[in-house]
Structure 1
Amino acid sequence: MASQGKKLINHPSGVVTEYIEGLVEAYPGLQFLDGFPQIKVVLQANISPSTFDKVAVISGGGAGHEPAHAGYVGPGMLTAAVSGDVFASPPVDSILAAIRAVTGPKGCVLIVTNYTGDRLNFGLAVEQAKSEGYSIEMVIVGDDCALPPRRGIVGRRGLAGTVLVNKVAGATAAAGLSLTEVAAAAKHAAKLVGTMGVALSVCTLPGQPTSDRLGTEKMELGLGIHGEPGAAVVDIQPVDLVVSCVLNQILSAETGYVPITRGSNVVLMINGLGGTPLMELMIAARKAIRELQGIHGFVVDRVYTGSFMTSLDMAGFSITLMKSEPAILECLDSPTKAPCWPVGTEASIGGRPPVKVPLPLIPSSSSRNSEIVSRPQELTKFGCILEAAIEAAAKEIVNMKDCSKEWETKLGDGDYSTTMKRGAAAIIEDMKLWNYPLNDTAETLNEMSTTIRRVMGGTSGILYAILCKAAYTSLKGHSQPTAREWANALAASIDAVSKYSGARAGDCTMLDALIPASNTLNERLDAGDNPVTAFVASAEAAMIGAESTKFLQAQAGRSAFTSPDLLVSVPDPGAMAAALWYRAAAFSVASKFKP
């Protein structure tokens, strides 16, 4: 059953008007027509038809595709944009109002996407405006390449390529060209552009339920931008395969949609559909640029990546290719004050080779090529105990029970156990492969810090790297430290973590396990206890400290931003993880000294 879609709106009936009001208030170069409710028109500020000495350029269509088209109103691009309700063509009266508001003696060009409702409403408005004495030209943009060559009268749908046509028309108008010349430039640009999209989800209209038409394992190729079904529904594929499929369809000689052949110069637009992270758009751009330059033999003159013509909250993207010509590039590069026109970049030819990571000025003893970093041919008894303790601690984290996921979900730190397990697994692997110098405790801790810093990432990774590095500094020169030297190293590590993180006892962090452990270890050693017994007792103190975080309000980490009501009876994952590995190490050491 489809669930109700969640939207940050006031009421579905007001979304378009309130969007326009917000846009105009945010950008002082814009204004809107004040009239009866269905008039939803954004204009360049301070435009007067009696004094405007350029060709006016107007575009528009149904709402839901923001920033198209109102976001492209500004000097150098659109003179006005007309919006209908969500996915509904604007009424004739709105289009006429826009024409009358901005069209001067040089006339007006209307850029219209190829949908029946838009063609009819804009067409009737053109005829009415002409009867009133206005000079009008209408340019239809149909850049959809997903469907076979048209059969019948419908033709190709207008998609994100319309934004590029808008820019060409706006630039030529700003340059002072005549109505005939501006219309001709727009029509020519429309013939050079092709678009195809792919979606992972169906968009959710304000006030309507969310459709589950696609399910969780399917994607749609050749989608429309109004929630209509695409050309095909297929299993989700890696994005590189998807990009290749889309490019091949756009460039297919069989369809002949775009006049782009090998050796051509092209403009590339990767357009998000409203619910797609920039990360995913850039991954698609990466593949598209490489394939266009490497396989298809094109020169990519400009790349535009972002969300330019969306479909509300749809997850997915479209790819637009436009044949690049000097006049086209000049128009795309010409200045505009339209708030949402993007900055185009030149694609690197053949890709830029990655820069090698620079070596430190002073060679580190932790370098893998260093002779210091090698497992001794024979481990001392101390080295064997150290190896067993490290392995036990790391395996405890790797095998940490799934209940940690429940803690993380409630505390807003859903990747903590994954990060910890990644670090622990790397320590086990590195201890085997590049062989920690286990007979030297300090150098082993130094190598562990390097391992952690290399693989863990995040806050937990850097804190554990600091923990190990501070212990190394404390123990440097002590290959087989005494129990008191171990206790001092633990205290130094706690001080370092506290210094750089700002955390203290009671803040719900790993320190709530390690501080009680350190205090107990020192107390037991001061009392003359056997070092192993003191170690085990300190491990019990660590676990008690970690459990106590159930009743504390977090002051550090992501838990600090979570409502206290959600934290009741939930221990801090960082404190629990520290207690678990500390206890595993203590029990491992104790097992080596059984009578």
Structure 2
Amino acid sequence: MAFQSKKLINNPNDVVTELIEGLVETYPGLEYLDGFPEVRVVLRADVSGATYDKVAVISGGGSGHEPAHAGFVGEGMLTAAICGDVFTAPPVDSILAGIRAVTGPMGCLLIVKNYTGDRLNFGLAAEQAKSEGYKVETVIVGDDCALPPPRGIAGRRGLAGTILVHKVAGAAAAVGLPLADVASEATRASEMVGTMVVALSVCTLPGQVTSDRLGPGKMELGLGIHGEPGAAVVDIQPVDVVVSHVLNQILSSETNYVPITRGNAVVLMINGLGATPAMELMIAAGKAVPKLQLEFGLAVERVYTGSFMTSLDMAGFSISIMKADEPLLHRLDASTKAPHWPVGTAGNRPPAKIPVPLPPSRSTKSEETLNRSEQLNQQGRILEMAIEAAANAIIDLRDKLNEWDGKVGDGDCGSTMHRGATAILDDMKKCYPLNDAAETVNEIGSSIGRVMGGTSGIIYNIFCKAAYAKLKENSDSSVTAKHWAEALDAAISAVSKYGGANAGYRTLLDALIPASAVLTERISAGEDPSTAFVLSSEIALEGAESTKHMQAQAGRSTYVSAEHLSSVPDPGAMAAAAWYRAAALAVKDKHQAP
């Protein structure tokens, strides 16, 4: 039976901001950027990008994994941490704000866990920062040893081993090494570590119901830190048996996840997932060390036990093993003031807040461009109706999308899309220049980029920007059905290029690609545009439904078994089909109205 979880929180939408406020009050060496609500960046209080003379080390990701990542900000470790919504990649603007706040002439290193949304958002931020003159390098960490390759384009997930990479990179930066050397040491560390997760329960997102997916007497091996299904659900076993299984999985010579062989030195991290007592973590550590020594012939040089990268209130632990030579041990032993690395912290309390830094130059639209006081023309009225219908369709579908996503992902697809749809409706009333279709599409992308995190936010932003660029090629202010078809095709191509997915990957493209093909075909054949639009929307819906029969090759669903996937369609594809269908019907109704 599902039930509402008990949480000591206020509004579920405010948990990340309030978490950061408490963090900086607790640790005087930290402060955060104070600006528009979407920017949530924790940084060292003693660092300013204008004067900082060392490489800045920046990481981040979705919140809910505390103390990662903000708890590891401090001298000798991270310079800044970017905090997204719960289990959602931080938006590009937040990442850019963090880069600008702490990056000096030596440049910055971005350490990113291997999840599609994090890669895309940090990647776009890195490219933007480079265009502004910053030196930026990126290291992707994928230390998951639970699921065998291939994993489509997604690859191995980033787990608690990322914290060890943070420590190595932070220590290298602290001694003044150049960016290339700091990146090299971080890359090497990431290649030396493997991790596997074991859970007794599934985590509960703030404001949502508690899942009973595992059931009594069961445990799950190899699930992700967002609660996505793992390799197997088995009966609960004694910790001796569990630890042996995890160590065998990480150190298996068949999978060759990590280059660790008999006689090597290693460090061990036993990481609690949020609801695991210290007693149980210490028991696991006490069983793991002799097994590594006696059964695998390894020298265990360091043991780190505690909660480093959690998953809200999940019960269980992960084990990370890293190959360690003397230079790497020297980095791990180097002093740091990061509050949640196993050391203390001290210092005077600086101001908790500083302003969000602005880019060197910020282009602004003139008020005339965004002025809605003018009378809408026919094209503007049709566009307004289509946008309103599409957004409302997503709002109505929120709970169903969350339900589907709860079975194949992290359960927040509907909530994420709802935020975007609500922002679009609000912004349309204030600033969309509906008589200019291209600029309106561009503004939709901006609305989405401001409030929608995760992969869907960056994908739809890319979608809108590519469609805008195509529409702008038309010198005439009027946009024809042919122009819309070309813009849709360009948007799909951009999403496929940057996201790596294509038809058959079980994504929103499985709805939009066939719809685009039909729309282009019908328009070219001279069919009535509104009819062509409606017919193509039917094909979009069919394409979305067909994802039930596809094995995912992109996103978190790649970690889910075919049996789980076959029970529901892809939530992203269904969302795309829903807004496309609603817009098409609205256009049809407008054309048929007297």
TM-score band by shorter chain is 0.5 to 0.7
Could you tell me which runs of 5 or more consecutive residues in structure 1 were left unpaired when the two chains were aligned: 345-595
Alpha-carbon distance in 2 for matches of 1:309, 1:151: 23
Alpha-carbon distance in 2 for matches of 1:116, 1:50: 31
Query: What's the CA shift for 1:47?
Result: 1.5
Which residue does the alignment assign to 2:111? 111
Contact 2:73/2:79 (8 A) holds in 1: yes
Which residue does the alignment assign to 1:298? 298
Alpha-carbon distance in 1 for matches of 2:341, 2:285: 18
Which residue does the alignment assign to 1:566? none
Alpha-carbon distance in 2 for matches of 1:283, 1:343: 22
Alpha-carbon distance in 2 for matches of 1:230, 1:320: 17
CA 1:288–1:70: 2 relative to 1, 3 Å: same
Which residue does the alignment assign to 2:171? 171
The Cα offsets for residues 425-479 of structure 1, whole Å up to 9 and x where unpaired, read as xxxxxxxxxxxxxxxxxxxxxxxxxxxxxxxxxxxxxxxxxxxxxxxxxxxxxxx
CA 1:22–1:151: 2 relative to 1, 3 Å: closer
Which residue does the alignment assign to 1:334? 334
Which residue does the alignment assign to 1:96? 96
Which residue does the alignment assign to 2:278? 278
Alpha-carbon distance in 1 for matches of 2:187, 2:76: 18
Alpha-carbon distance in 1 for matches of 2:231, 2:169: 30
Query: What's the CA shift for 1:227?
Result: 1.1
CA 1:343–1:302: 2 relative to 1, 3 Å: farther
Which residue does the alignment assign to 2:223? 223
The Cα offsets for residues 290-336 of structure 1, whole Å up to 9 and x where unpaired, read as 10011111100000000000000000000000001111100000000
Contact 1:222/1:230 (8 A) holds in 2: yes
Please state whether the residue corresponding to 1:149 is helix, strand or coil. coil
Which residue does the alignment assign to 1:160? 160
Which letter maps to 2:225?
Answer: I
Which residue does the alignment assign to 1:86? 86
Which residue does the alignment assign to 1:324? 324
Which letter maps to 2:131?
Answer: S
Structure 1 runs of 4+ with >6 Å offset: none
Which letter maps to 1:282?
Answer: M
Which residue does the alignment assign to 2:63? 63
Larger Rg: 1
Which residue does the alignment assign to 1:562? none
Alpha-carbon distance in 2 for matches of 1:31, 1:42: 6
Which residue does the alignment assign to 1:137? 137
The Cα offsets for residues 324-349 of structure 1, whole Å up to 9 and x where unpaired, read as 111110000000000000259xxxxx
Please state whether the residue corresponding to 1:284 is helix, strand or coil. helix
Query: What's the CA shift for 1:154?
Result: 1.2
Which residue does the alignment assign to 2:37? 37
Please state whether the residue corresponding to 1:249 is helix, strand or coil. helix
> Normalising to structure 2: TM-score of the pair?
0.57
Contact 1:42/1:73 (8 A) holds in 2: yes
1:490-509 equivalences in 2 (<5 Å) = none
Contact 2:75/2:336 (8 A) holds in 1: yes
The Cα offsets for residues 172-201 of structure 1, whole Å up to 9 and x where unpaired, read as 000100000000000000000000010000
Count, aligned residues: 344
**2:121 is the alignment partner of 1:121:** yes
1:341-360 equivalences in 2 (<5 Å) = 341-342=341-342
Alpha-carbon distance in 1 for matches of 2:129, 2:50: 16
Which letter maps to 1:154?
Answer: A
Which residue does the alignment assign to 1:521? none
Contact 1:41/1:98 (8 A) holds in 2: yes
Which residue does the alignment assign to 2:10? 10
**2:227 is the alignment partner of 1:241:** no
Which residue does the alignment assign to 1:22? 22
The Cα offsets for residues 115-163 of structure 1, whole Å up to 9 and x where unpaired, read as 0000000000000000001000000000000010234321100000000
Which residue does the alignment assign to 2:368? none
Cα RMSD (Å): 1.0
Please state whether the residue corresponding to 2:215 is helix, strand or coil. coil
Which letter maps to 1:130?
Answer: K
Contact 1:56/1:102 (8 A) holds in 2: yes
Alpha-carbon distance in 1 for matches of 2:311, 2:247: 21
Alpha-carbon distance in 2 for matches of 1:257, 1:153: 17
Please state whether the residue corresponding to 2:60 is helix, strand or coil. strand
Alpha-carbon distance in 1 for matches of 2:50, 2:86: 33
Alpha-carbon distance in 2 for matches of 1:2, 1:27: 37
Alpha-carbon distance in 1 for matches of 2:149, 2:75: 36
Which residue does the alignment assign to 1:51? 51
Could you tell me which runs of 5 or more consecutive residues in structure 2 were left unpaired when the two chains were aligned: 345-594
Which structure carries more relative contact order (alpha carbon 8 Å, separation 6+)?
2
Please state whether the residue corresponding to 2:4 is helix, strand or coil. coil
Alpha-carbon distance in 2 for matches of 1:233, 1:192: 28
1:302-451 equivalences in 2 (<5 Å) = 302-342=302-342
Which residue does the alignment assign to 1:214? 214
Contact 2:336/2:343 (8 A) holds in 1: no
Please state whether the residue corresponding to 1:75 is helix, strand or coil. coil
Please state whether the residue corresponding to 2:3 is helix, strand or coil. coil
Contact 2:337/2:343 (8 A) holds in 1: no
Which residue does the alignment assign to 1:410? none
Which letter maps to 2:279?
Answer: M
The Cα offsets for residues 7-52 of structure 1, whole Å up to 9 and x where unpaired, read as 0111101111000010001111000001110111000003211210
The Cα offsets for residues 514-563 of structure 1, whole Å up to 9 and x where unpaired, read as xxxxxxxxxxxxxxxxxxxxxxxxxxxxxxxxxxxxxxxxxxxxxxxxxx
Query: What's the CA shift for 1:69?
Result: 0.2
Alpha-carbon distance in 2 for matches of 1:233, 1:212: 13
The Cα offsets for residues 49-105 of structure 1, whole Å up to 9 and x where unpaired, read as 121000000000000000000000000000000010000000000000000000000
Contact 1:49/1:103 (8 A) holds in 2: yes
Contact 2:63/2:88 (8 A) holds in 1: yes
Please state whether the residue corresponding to 1:88 is helix, strand or coil. coil
Alpha-carbon distance in 2 for matches of 1:179, 1:198: 36
Which residue does the alignment assign to 2:194? 194
Which letter maps to 1:16?
Answer: V
Alpha-carbon distance in 2 for matches of 1:85, 1:262: 42
The Cα offsets for residues 246-271 of structure 1, whole Å up to 9 and x where unpaired, read as 00000011111100001110000000
Query: What's the CA shift for 1:216?
Result: 1.1
Which residue does the alignment assign to 1:204? 204
Query: What's the CA shift for 1:223?
Result: 1.1
> Normalising to structure 1: TM-score of the pair?
0.57
Contact 1:150/1:156 (8 A) holds in 2: no
Please state whether the residue corresponding to 1:150 is helix, strand or coil. coil
Query: What's the CA shift for 1:171?
Result: 0.3
Which residue does the alignment assign to 2:560? none
The Cα offsets for residues 266-285 of structure 1, whole Å up to 9 and x where unpaired, read as 00000000000011111111
Contact 1:146/1:196 (8 A) holds in 2: yes
CA 1:251–1:117: 2 relative to 1, 3 Å: same
Which letter maps to 1:89?
Answer: A
Alpha-carbon distance in 2 for matches of 1:79, 1:151: 32
Which residue does the alignment assign to 2:532? none
Alpha-carbon distance in 1 for matches of 2:46, 2:158: 30
Which residue does the alignment assign to 1:554? none
Alpha-carbon distance in 1 for matches of 2:37, 2:151: 38
Contact 1:304/1:343 (8 A) holds in 2: no
Amino-acid identity (%): 76
Greater displacement, 144-153 / 18-27: 144-153
